[in-house]
Amino acid sequence: MTENKQDSLKKPLSRREMLKLTGVAGLGLLIGGGGAGGLMALGRKGSSVAAVEPAAADKQGLPFYGKHQAGIITPAQDFICFAAFDVTAGSVEELRRLFRDWTAASAAMASGQMIGEHNTTLNTPPTDTGEAAGLTPSRTTLTFGVGPSLFDGRFGLKGPKPRGLRDLPAFAGDALDPQWCGGDLCVQVCADDMQVAFHAIRNLARIARGHAVLRWTQEGFQRTGRADPAGGTPRNLLGFKDGTGNPDTTDAVLMDRTVWAQPSDGPGWMAGGSYMAVRRVRMRVEVWDRSTLKDQEATFGRHRDSGAPIGSRGEFDPVDLQAKSTDGQPLIPATSHLRLAKGDGSQQILRRSYSYSSGLDPKTGQLDAGLLFISYQRDMDKQFIPIQTRLAKSDKLNEYTVHVGSAVFACFPGCKQGGYIGETLF
């Protein structure tokens, strides 16, 4: 090998360079193993092989390190790849190592780098599966949480189980299928590119080999930024704008009140984290598509086109639950999703849901499509559970939806560079 070539191998490699290299010299140039242990991120893109420079704004990606994990109050990207894992590790040390490795790999992927370190002597599989080579960071966020089952005594964890971290109670109408429920750990990967998001989940699962196994996954989408450059509120598969009533994520005081677990809430390891509720909600789209527009609007309590509360014009017009029509009936019906979700306004949650479409239900031949509902809150008992209890009981939307999956996770606070996600617990 010439000196020049040796030098170039010491330089940091970008996804694009790595691809080129594997094409030239074969996969054996990259060390493999893929297991937890000593993963290292390779450096950023050099100038020599960057044929197409990504847009400046997307060059660096979103910061992975920080006080809070990204992917909670950061703006929603176009796609999600969600995965729940079951832990097979035998000790907390193993878990700690897994999270250290996941952290290093995640920081690399969030900034568009390849995972893994270069070794010319070992003939083992590459540390990065390669399908994101040459792609931009795509605003990738990776958000990690732990489920109630992690606290079943297997690991003797340092921190106590949070009071509110338990499986959700059974709600009226639930039709939960165990294949979409629970998990010891979760990672929510969101990105503006599906291949980049998939790459992240796949590589995290690979790194976890021998320590954790995938339990269930769900991919999801919204309209893309390309299709909606103005960035309006996305519509769900029932055609309505979904997210209008979310609390303002730029209001730090409000976020502390509604989303972030506070030190006084206990346990200490969760301060700066957030509780995540996940519900896989299947939509009976065929039934919905046969209902009238009037019925559809009465179901949500909002107009379909504008997203405005019934009787108003603008999407963000205040919701007046007292408003009556000329015949004395409430404009926003008693069983509408809006009225029931809002309640007296004292409980708020931050929704960050994605639509899903997972082919056909083999039993009925109907579309298996719906909403991967995800919400973040400071306290499950005071926020999500009372809202969902009201909705499950009388929401008109229940005629068209069925909850088939359910999980709860405590999402850690963020960590500084040099630290790792989960360090406050492990």
> d(Cα 343, Cα 296) in Å, to the nearest integer?
20
- If the CB atoms of residues 19 and 281 are measured against ligand HEM, the closer one turns out to be 281
Single out the residue of 304, 335, 305, 310 nearest to residue 325, CA to CA: 310
Q: Which one of 85, 384, 409, 412 is in contact with ligand HEM (CB under 6 A)?
A: 384
Closest to ligand HEM by CB, 132 or 349: 349
Task: Tell me if 302 contacts ligand HEM by CB under 6 A.
Answer: yes
299 belongs to the binding site for ligand HEM (CB under 6 A): no
Q: By CB under 6 A, name the one of 43, 243, 266, 330 that touches ligand HEM.
A: 243
The closest of 196, 184, 88 to 142, measured between CA atoms, is 196
Pick from 300, 356, 420, 426: which binds ligand HEM (CB under 6 A)?
300
Closest CB 384 distance from ligand HEM, rounded Å? 6
Q: Is 68 in the site for ligand HEM (CB under 6 A)?
A: no
CB of 343 to ligand HEM, least distance (A): 8
Q: Does 150 participate in binding ligand HEM (rule CB under 6 A)?
A: no
> Is the alpha carbon torsion for 104, 109, 113, 119 positive or negative?
positive
Enumerate residues 274-293 that contact ligand HEM by CB under 6 A: 279, 281, 283
Q: Quick check: helix, strand or coil at residue 81? A: strand
Distance CA 115, CA 126 (A): 9
For 106, other C-beta atoms within 10 Å of its C-beta total 30
Q: Left, alpha or beta for 20 (phi > 0: left; psi -120 to 50: alpha)?
A: alpha
Give the interface segment with ligand HEM, choosing from 46-54, 189-197, 326-334, 370-378 (CB under 6 A).
370-378
Complete DSSP assignment for 275-323: EEEEEEEEE-HHHHTTS-HHHHHHHHTB-TTT-PBTT-SSTTSPP-TT-
Based on the shown chain and the rule CB under 6 A, indicate whether residue 321 belongs to the binding site for ligand HEM. no
**Distance from the first to the final alpha carbon of the chain:** 45
Q: Is residue 342 close enough to count as binding ligand HEM by CB under 6 A? A: yes
Piece of the chain touching ligand HEM by CB under 6 A; list 19-27, 187-195, 323-331, 334-342 = 334-342
Q: Which stretch binds ligand HEM (CB under 6 A): 51-59, 126-134, 181-189, 233-241?
A: 233-241
How many residues touch ligand HEM (CB under 6 A)? 27
* Min dist. Cβ of residue 253 to ligand HEM (A): 18
C-beta of 323: minimal distance to ligand HEM in Å? 14
When the beta carbons of 388 and 424 are compared against ligand HEM, the nearer one is 388
> How far apart are alpha carbons 169 and 277 in whole angstroms?
12
Please identify the residue of the shown chain whose CB is closest to the bound ligand HEM.
Answer: 245
Q: How far apart are CA 76 and CA 55, in angstroms?
A: 19
Rounded Cα distance, 98 and 94, in Å: 6
Which residue is associated with the tokens 């490795």? 101
Element (H, E) at 85: strand 79-87
Binding site for ligand HEM (CB under 6 A): 236, 238, 240-245, 279, 281, 283, 300, 302, 319, 337-338, 341-342, 349, 370-371, 373, 384, 387-388, 391, 401
